[in-house]
Amino acid sequence: MKLPRLIARNLRRRPLTTALTSFSVALGVGLFAAIGALRHGAEQGFQRSASLCDMVVGAKGSSLQLVLNSLYHVGTSPGNVPFSLYEEISGTTGVLWSVPMAVGDSYAGSRIVAVTDDLFEALEIPDYGKLRLASGNAFAFSKEALVELHHELEEHHHEEDEEAEEHHEHHEHHEHHEHHEHEESEESGTEEEEHHAHDEELHHLIEEHQGLFVAVVGSEAAAASGLQVGSRFTPAHDVSGGAGQEQHEEAETEVVGVLEPTGTPLDRAIFIPLGAFYLIEGHQPTEESEFGGARDPLGLSSILVRSKPGFYSLSLWRSWNNRLDAQAARPADEIRNLFQVVGNVDAILRLVAALVVVVALIGVLVAIYNTMGARRKEFALLRALGAHRATVLTMVMGESAAIAAIGALIGMLLAGAGVWVASGKVHSMVGVAVTVLPGWDEIQLLLAVTAVGAIAGLVPAWNAYRTEAAHHLSGQL
């Protein structure tokens, strides 16, 4: 009978002890592996999404907030940058492509992201490629169309401003007039007429661009909201997702395409043309609006940029960061920094899990050691049948190592199941797909726990090694 079979039989002889000690090892290893795998998987998933672009250009403030909001659709935007910055960036040497973005609306808990069609044409996802549609088509809304519409809207609002100013001056001039009350009633009548005229103009504009009220929906957003090609929905103003959100009734939007799953936060978003975003009533500038600043209503939340590598990337990053009205954040750096902070917590958790493994292995040692007294006759018999002392020693260490290895394997399975459950949660929270396949780290962990298990068995094994066969071969086993 070969040694492995002897070890297996000895473990089967004590099923409860074997099961309990293996399970205690499994819990520790599972915890240890799950923490590591989840962190590693999450970081990889986040970095995969971070590599969608080289830089995110947005308003001054927290660069992490800018990246999280623009790429992961988490939190709020730090503010707006002027539209002119997009025109400048898209024409800069060294910029391969740029996608302007405006956020702030949502539908059924999914965020609405206003973009140009460059998103569908330029964006390349690692290990996936360009965005593909599961059904329908992408919308067409080019940079040129955006620039044209933006200028049209700017002109419209400038005219409105000038008229408002003229009206204000006219009002001041007549303030001291004798027939003040009579004039005031005339003025308010004129003001209402002007507003009415502008509203009509805007509605005319909306009607003129009715074709812009279309959307392409990410796979998860489609599943969550039930939207499919041909569905119509009304965007809500703000991203809170709570009841009582203000609805953009005038901006009923038709779904023209649904994206295939990408394993990135893009899955959770609903994309509309930027032109439609600017035409939505609640996004119109008011008399208090400050054009060009961080609250410019015709500005942009951010601009995703892919640049030529090396020198270009660095110099563009520096030059944009030197601006007073914008900053450029590198998603890869931001996510790395974020995970460095998370890494400290992760290290403490893994230390605790490692201690659980150590305690479990001590439990294995104690469990085997406690059987030593009863097993002396067994060892004596094996020695009488010709087994070397080393064989007996190896057998006991093997039992300990086997319990540890079984525990480690079960622990890996538990960790896999835990990560699978947790990855669903991570995906629903930030849209990052956490995929964890057993790799070299897991094999190393399995080998390490088995080796430590064997070492833990050394104490009882040494006891078995020293058994003098001749002294224990009388009486029952």
Partner 1 sequence: MIRLLGLHKSFPRQTDEQSSGHSLSVSDFEIQAGERVALVGASGSGKTTLLNLMSGLILPDQGSVEVDGVDITQLKESARDRFRARTIGYLFQTSHLLPGFSALENVELGASFAGRAVDRDRAKSLLDAVGLGHRHHHQPQQLSVGQQSRVALARALVNRPKVVLADEPTGALDPESGKAALKLLLDTAGEENITVICATHDAGVASVLDRTVRVEELQ
Which stretches of the chain bind partner 1, using CB under 8 A? Answer: 1-2, 6, 9-10, 12-13, 377-378, 381-391, 468-470, 473-477
What is the Cα–Cα distance from 277 to 139, expressed in whole angstroms?
14
Q: Which is nearer to partner 1, 150 or 472 (CB)?
A: 472
What is the Cα–Cα distance from 274 to 303, expressed in whole angstroms?
12
Q: Which is nearer to partner 1, 372 or 413 (CB)?
A: 372
Phi, psi of 207 (to 5 degrees): -65, -40
Q: Which is nearer to partner 1, 209 or 377 (CB)?
A: 377
Q: Which is nearer to partner 1, 68 or 395 (CB)?
A: 395
- Distance linking the first and last C-alpha atoms of the chain: 20
Give CA angle at 108 (305, 44), nearest 5°.
45
Name the minimum Å distance from CB 428 to partner 1.
49
Say which residues have a Cβ less than 8 Å from residue 434's Cβ, sequence separation at least 6: 38, 41, 42, 44, 45, 419, 422, 423, 426, 427
Q: Which is nearer to partner 1, 286 or 474 (CB)?
A: 474
Name the minimum Å distance from CB 471 to partner 1.
9
Q: Which is nearer to partner 1, 5 or 182 (CB)?
A: 5
Name the minimum Å distance from CB 363 to partner 1.
22
Name the minimum Å distance from CB 20 to partner 1.
18
Name the minimum Å distance from CB 385 to partner 1.
6
Name the minimum Å distance from CB 433 to partner 1.
47
Angle between helices 15-50 and 389-430 (to 10 degrees): 40
Name the minimum Å distance from CB 407 to partner 1.
21
Name the minimum Å distance from CB 74 to partner 1.
57
Q: Which is nearer to partner 1, 151 or 388 (CB)?
A: 388
Name the minimum Å distance from CB 222 to partner 1.
58
Say which residues have a Cβ less than 8 Å from residue 14's Cβ, sequence separation at least 6: 371
Q: Which is nearer to partner 1, 290 or 468 (CB)?
A: 468
Q: Which is nearer to partner 1, 200 or 468 (CB)?
A: 468
Name the minimum Å distance from CB 473 to partner 1.
6
- Between the alpha carbon of residue 177 and those of residues 170, 189, 276, 419, the distances in Å are 12, 18, 45, 78
Q: Which is nearer to partner 1, 6 or 95 (CB)?
A: 6
Compute CA 136 distance to the chain's CA centroid, rounded to the nearest angstrom.
26
